[in-house]
A and B are shown apart, each in its own frame.
Chain A
Amino acid sequence: MIGPVLAVRSDQELEGGSVLPDLRKAPITKLQLVKYAGASGDYNLIHTDDETAHSVGLEGVIAHGMLSMAFLGEYLCWLAGPESIRRLSVRFVEMVRPGDTLTCRGRVKEQTAGNAGRQLLLEVWAENQRAERVTVGEAEVQIA
């Protein structure tokens, strides 16, 4: 991975409507959900224990919404660098299950020039292998 991707792009390439490159993640596994539970401290068993998931009417465990948000966080780091991120806001709209493969996508909504460089308002989302948007949101980044 070479980043930040956007720093080398001209203003014209980052105008409103410009499509950003994709970041495809590896398929989500149950092991990853266990690891994420431990790393994040979210021990809600609907993410790691099928029995608990069944008891609340789910077919099986579902991924933490925050895992898909973390993917979008990585996406912003890749696009703009970790020092550049000013805001990330998301809504969790569809459930994500083990076996799903998420891809982070985005486009520029607006570019503004400020004292400290270029500010970009981005539309970002994670979609699954059926092209359904599972987590959708908006981000602000500042690039040189």
Chain B
Amino acid sequence: MDQPPALSRDLIGRESEEVLFEVERGAIRKFAEAVQDQTPECLRGEVAPPTFPTMFRMTIPGLTFDLARVLHGAQEYRYERPLRAGDRVRCRLRVADIYQRQGRLGEMTFLILALEGRDESGSAVFTGSTTAILR
């Protein structure tokens, strides 16, 4: 099988477009039900579960890889406040870092993606950091 070339460090700093996501009550409930999250505010669709920002998916121009070969190594979220139904969040995803390291499975590429969510007035609501491992 052809191995795709390792991601170039030239991609560091590259960003997605800003995308506006609306936090819908039904989406909160569906997410909470899938997780079997018993938090009453989440089951009622009022407050989004903490990991709800994982739904905010964006593409970064030039950044492509084979999904089946990606491991999710680590994830962080920081919150100013929880997301609530009716929130409209402006999100942006950026390549924060790319580096190679020897791991259990041989040479692996680490891709660090930084996610930022702001309210309509521009105030930060949350940030996320994803560590993806490409083998």
Q: Give A contacts to B, CB under 8 Å.
A: 1, 3, 25-26, 32, 35-36, 38-42, 44-46, 52, 55-56, 64-67, 69-71, 73-74, 76-78, 82-83, 85-92
Whether the pair B39, A35 counts as a contact (CB closer than 8 A) is no
A87 to B51, CA, bound (A): 11
Give the distance to chain B from A64, nearest Cβ to Cβ, in Å.
Answer: 8
Whether the pair A86, B68 counts as a contact (CB closer than 8 A) is no
Which of B34, B41, B75, B77 is A40 in contact with, Cβ under 8 Å? B34
Say whether chain A's binding surface is mostly helix, strand, loop, or mixed: helix
Q: Give B contacts to A, CB under 8 Å.
A: 27, 30-31, 33-42, 47, 49-51, 54-55, 57, 67-79, 81-82
B30, B69, B72: most-surrounded residue (chain A CB, <10 A) = B72
User: In the complex, which residue of chain B has the Cβ closest to the Cβ of A46?
Assistant: B68
B31, B50, B54: most-surrounded residue (chain A CB, <10 A) = B50
Which of B27, B51, B72, B81 is A92 in contact with, Cβ under 8 Å? B72
Whether the pair B79, A25 counts as a contact (CB closer than 8 A) is no
User: In the complex, which residue of chain B has the Cβ closest to the Cβ of A23?
Assistant: B38
Whether the pair B68, A45 counts as a contact (CB closer than 8 A) is yes
Whether the pair A32, B36 counts as a contact (CB closer than 8 A) is yes
Whether the pair A86, B30 counts as a contact (CB closer than 8 A) is no
Q: Which chain A residues lie closer than 8 Å to B50 at the CB level?
A: 70, 73, 76-77, 82, 85, 88
A-B contact count (CB 8 A): 114
Give the distance to chain B from A15, nearest Cβ to Cβ, in Å.
Answer: 25
Whether the pair B79, A69 counts as a contact (CB closer than 8 A) is no
Q: Which chain A residues lie closer than 8 Å to B73 at the CB level?
A: 91-92
A56 to B82, CA, bound (A): 37
Whether the pair B36, A87 counts as a contact (CB closer than 8 A) is no
A44 to B69, CA, bound (A): 10
Q: Which chain A residues lie closer than 8 Å to B34 at the CB level?
A: 32, 35-36, 38-40
Give the distance to chain A from B53, nearest Cβ to Cβ, in Å.
Answer: 10
Whether the pair A66, B51 counts as a contact (CB closer than 8 A) is yes
Could you write out 15 A-B pairs with CB less than 8 Å apart?
A36-B35, A38-B34, A45-B67, A67-B35, A70-B51, A74-B37, A77-B37, A77-B41, A82-B47, A82-B82, A87-B76, A87-B77, A87-B78, A88-B51, A89-B77
Q: Which chain A residues lie closer than 8 Å to B36 at the CB level?
A: 25-26, 32
